[in-house]
Amino acid sequence: MTKGKDLFQLLLIIIICSFVYFVFLFLFLEIFVGDSTVYSTAAFGSFFGAFFAFLFLRIGDFFIKLYKNKEEHFNGLTLLNRILNKNIFIANNNIFFAGLIIVNLQKGEKPINTLSKFILVDEVVDKIKNLDFFSDVFSLSINLKEQNDNIEMINDFCKGMKSSSIEENDVEKNYRVRVIKCLENFEKIYVNLRDREFINILVKNLLLIKKEKSFIIKIIHFFLGSYLKKVSEIEIEKELPAVKKKWAEIIKNENFSKKIIT
């Protein structure tokens, strides 16, 4: 986050300028005034001590705020990790149940299943301090809200059909066909969410969590000019296959269990 680094650089400039100013002031008093102003020298020393006490207090406050921001950022990453894992399962379930609803509608039967809404990441968005990663999480937040609106529409239709006891008219049959097409599109969207968007953000998130763990490393990186870490494309490509393989096995086992139940 550049704001923190700019503030720290400003503090350093103030310290350097103040030090130079008081050194020159002290030399001026010693050369041109000498020992005739004992009280002036004492006053100067008192002021000099008070000023640096105030300055170090401000520096302390700065590092406290810095630590709180880093802690909030790390907590946001860990919370996002849990939400992404849960949303991968939700996406997989929605793919499965969307298929069942399509089959029911194609047979002219009333659907008995509904889709689950995704867990939103609004709580996480404000905690993320990394500007690059913030863009990814913010886009995901908007996408999830749109998908939840679509899910609510489908669920309302399914509930309406289940509670309806009269025969469908032509308008309702046409609406059924449109819903089937929507569900087929939603299946593709959920597959993309599960296999691409969720996984890609999860990989970046895991890499950032690894980089944010040690407070000592945070301080070192801060002074080296990398206050908030970035994830390179090379690191993502290296980590991605392992994460995809892990989730492919989990999803395969879960889908196999569903087939046995149904």
pLDDT, one tens digit per residue, over 89-137 is: 999 999 999 999 999 888 888 888 899 999 999 999 989 988 889 999 9
**pLDDT bucket at 21, cuts 50 / 70 / 90:** low
Q: Is the pLDDT of residue 80 over 80?
A: yes
Gap between the Cα atoms of 24 and 28, Å rounded: 6
DSSP state of 213: S
What are the two backbone dihedrals, phi and then psi, of residue 61, each rounded to the nearest 5 degrees?
-60, -40
CB atoms closer than 10 angstroms to residue 234: 8
Mean pLDDT, to the nearest integer, of 176-199? Answer: 89
Of 249 and 148, the one with more pLDDT = 148
Label residue 138 by pLDDT band (50, 70, 90): very high
Distance separating alpha carbons of residues 186 and 180, to the nearest angstrom:
10
What type of residue sits at position 237? E
25 pLDDT band (50/70/90 cuts)?
Answer: low
Q: Is pLDDT of 165 > 60?
A: no
Taking only Cα atoms into account, the Rg of the chain, rounded to an integer number of angstroms, comes to 30
What does the alpha-carbon distance between residue 176 and residue 105 come to, in Å, rounded to a whole number? Answer: 7
pLDDT for residue 166 is more than 60: no
Q: What is the mean pLDDT of residues 152-163?
A: 83
pLDDT at 90: 94
For residues 73 and 212, the answer to whether their CB atoms sit within 8 Å is: yes
Whether the predicted pLDDT of 47 surpasses 80: no
Residue 222: what are its φ and ψ, rounded to 5°?
-60, -45
- Residue 22: pLDDT band by 50, 70, 90 thresholds? low
The fraction of the chain above a pLDDT of 70, given in percent, is: 65
Range with the poorest average pLDDT among 44-48, 90-94, 145-149, 237-241: 44-48
pLDDT at 35: 54
Strand, helix or coil for residue 122? helix
Indicate the helix (H) or strand (E) that contains 9: helix 2-28
Distances in Å between the alpha carbon of 119 and those of 76, 168, 246? 15, 34, 21
CA–CA dist 122, 143 (Å, integer): 12
Q: What is the pLDDT of residue 119?
A: 95
Q: Where are the domains of the chain?
A: 70-261
Q: Work out the mean pLDDT of the chain and round it to a whole number.
A: 77
Q: With CA atoms as reference, report the closest residue to 179 among 112, 95, 104, 258.
A: 104
